[in-house]
A and B are shown apart, each in its own frame.
Chain A
Amino acid sequence: MTVSVALLFPDLLGTYGDSGNAAILAARLRWRGIDSEVITVRSGQPVPDSCELYVVGGGEDLPQSQAAVQLGADREGGPLRRAVDRGAVVLAVCAGMQIVGRSFTGPDGAPAAGIGLLDCSTEPGRGPRMVGEIVVDPAPELDLPALTGYENHAGATSLGPAAQPLGRVRVGCGNGPGRGVDGARSGKVIGTYLHGPVLARNPALADLLLTWAVGPLSPLDDTECDDLRGERFAAVLGRPRRRVRAGRG
């Protein structure tokens, strides 16, 4: 059997290298001898409901609402909802998380319907745009090491009772200033504001998603990822903050 990873609308939702998440999932299966493929679904193409994993990335306001409509946000059911009902795994990053939530603010400033896979809603944050390195301590039941990423968003996300946060924010903003948490999860659907892309910096999260899709996995040599993680944690947590000079040239 070939495990399929669907990369949804990279032409609309691919601003922050999020297509890397799909490539990483497929590679980590391949390296373990499991056949895998990335199915790239571009805007305007039909979304298959038969894949094992789905990756939805971040994007700008206008493309985001385009993508939501193509995923069936404006009608009952839709391919992604059908896939999740069948047991598919979804990783939704930034605008992707907003889309798979219940509602987000559209480009015209009015609330737009999401797909409702996660019980969360997003509105424009009150403060400045949230940009920078972020460190999240995942919820204990996920049994994951600390997550490192980079966030860049204006939206602030509130969770309803049917969603749990991905984890507690140690550095950065996550779902919004003062909320102290990042992301949303429900069943096998995970949303987060971490890009980088998130799975490049957090191979254990990649393997958790893969385990949900295909069962237990053998370990891989992640020395290079560990090097990168060590550097990022040292940069963000390890040293006192220093003033940074602005400007080019």
Chain B
Amino acid sequence: MSVGRRGLAVLAAIATTVVERCTLGSTVVATERPPLPARTRLAAGIGLATAGLSRRLGRGGGSVIGGRAILAVDPDALARLAAGRTVALVSGTNGKTTTTSLLAAALGGPGAVVTNLLGANLPPGLAAALAAGGADLPAALEVDEAWLPRVVQATRPRAVALLNLSRDQLDRNNEVRTLSGGWRAAFEAHPDVTVVANADDPLVVWGAGRAGAVVWVGAGQPWTDDAGGCPACGGRIDFSAAPGRGWACLGCDLARPALDVSLDGPAVLWRDGLSVALRLQLPGRANRANAAMALATAAVLGFDRTEAARKVESLDEIVGRYAVVDAGGVRARLLLAKNPAGWLEVFDFVRPAPVPVVVAINARIADGRDPSWLWDVPFERLQGRLVVATGERSRDLAVRLRYAGVEHVRRSDLLEAIGASGAPDVDVVANYTSFQQLRSRLA
């Protein structure tokens, strides 16, 4: 959580004093790799101390402010903290946090891998994660899709998993295909990176198209409305083959590549014939796809595919997502959906009517200031049950539900909304910052 620029300066000043004392006697970041420059060690120490202070002051996880302190002291800290380390990045519009968690589990879980949770996926969050983790551990890092080119440049990853691209935070990422073009240029400039790419998303295929090596995964992408125009030639992309069977541009030769890894019911199938059964506790098609992406990425790093699969099966929630919590006597299952593509996947595992659905919508900066995407979600699918509209933009949602013919009520307060239906079980679907608010209210 941000405590503002002045707060950062104060915290950094205090932290500097603390760190100057402790760096006299011992190194702050232990390392057997090429030693970190003194400036980076100092930066990391200040960052950790700042993050710790931020946490103690009750300002949140502290990784963003700590990371800002690190980058303020050493602007090249991200590159230096990543140097010599095995790094895997995960990026895309949807599924980043889940896939990164699955990948971290596949690589051995806490203690064996450095990772950034809680969505701190910009350079400050990445620097903070690397500074806090053991210097010789591999890193599995979630990266914001717009920042991916700069993070690839800085961290020189061994593998990058590209999940999907679709409309999200359009006030910030104005055109989805601009992101795809940025990815393409980044991988052309770094041919030593192996990209693990979702072959079912034309924008991902274009983004991965110039990479030195690609592992193509049939991870699916039910949402196709951002890829109707070919990223190569502007021609029309034909998705008329059965879902998951492929797509092709009618104007040029861009088409779904042959798959190296595919989903085969509950199993993941490799081109060399290995089939790995997956008994995930996480629900839905999207999470089977996320797991396949994570396993394919772990395989690029040299991890055993079958062992990795056993490790990812243990996860039953991802920073609160999919968890069932008690909220004033109501059993609420918490789900995250922050854009139309995410909603298409969530409809796949929302419990059937008459279980009410509470939908929480905010439009803060991290959500995108423009909630017009609500009109791209087929909320008509929630007809036949009560929907409770909540969050800071519940009025936008209420109007959308009215036109969708969905019975609904509106409650401004998140917890009041969970109780409003009177039902003992509800599914709660929240977007990014409303999910965070909900978690802190329920904590």
Contacts and interface: CB of A to CB of B under 8 A. Distances in A.
Interface string B112-132: 000000111110110000000
A249 B373 CA distance: 22
B365 A12 contact: no
Contact of A200 (B234, B365, B369, B399): B399
Nearest to A228: B395
Interface stretch (B153-161, B167-175, B212-220, B322-330): B167-175
A150 to B, nearest CB: 5
B236 A16 contact: no
Contacts of A43: 228-229, 236
Nearest to A42: B228
Given A44-B236, A200-B400, A248-B121, A66 B229 contact: yes
Interface string A208-240: 000000000000000011011001000000000
Given A227-B395, A246-B365, A152 B171 contact: yes
A44 B175 CA distance: 22
B375 A200 contact: yes
B63 interface: yes
A99 B234 CA distance: 16
Contacts of B125: 248-249
Contact of B403 (A24, A107, A150, A244): A24
A27 interface: yes
B175 A247 contact: no
Interface in A108-129: 129
A249 B124 CA distance: 10
A196 B372 contact: yes
Given A245-B4, A247-B2, A63 B229 contact: yes
Interface string A188-207: 00000001110011000000
B118 A249 contact: yes
Given A63-B234, A132-B369, A15 B4 contact: no
Nearest to B408: A224
A245 B2 contact: yes
A228 B119 contact: no
Contacts of A200: 375, 396, 399-400, 403
A228 B398 contact: yes
A17 B122 CA distance: 28
Nearest to A24: B403
B395 A231 contact: yes
A249 B1 contact: yes
B376 A14 contact: yes
Q: Which of A19, A20, A154, A224 has the most CB of B within 10 A?
A: A224
Contact of A248 (B122, B171, B398): B122
Contacts of A150: 171, 369-370, 372
A224 B402 contact: yes
B61 interface: yes
A17 B402 contact: no
B122 A247 contact: yes
Contacts of A65: 234
B366 interface: yes
Interface string B33-67: 00000000000000000000000000011011000
B176 interface: yes
B413 interface: no
A162 interface: no
A17 B171 contact: no
Contacts of B407: none
B64 A249 contact: yes
Interface in B356-379: 365-366, 369-370, 372-376
18 contacts: A16-B170, A20-B375, A20-B400, A23-B375, A43-B229, A62-B177, A62-B231, A62-B234, A63-B234, A152-B170, A200-B396, A200-B403, A228-B395, A247-B122, A247-B124, A249-B1, A249-B61, A249-B64
Interface of B: 1-2, 4, 60-61, 63-64, 118-122, 124-125, 144, 167, 170-171, 174-177, 224-226, 228-229, 231, 234-236, 250, 365-366, 369-370, 372-376, 395-396, 398-400, 402-403, 432
Interface of A: 10-12, 14-20, 23-24, 27, 42-44, 60-63, 65-66, 107, 129, 131-132, 150, 152, 154, 195-197, 200-201, 224-225, 227-228, 231, 244-249
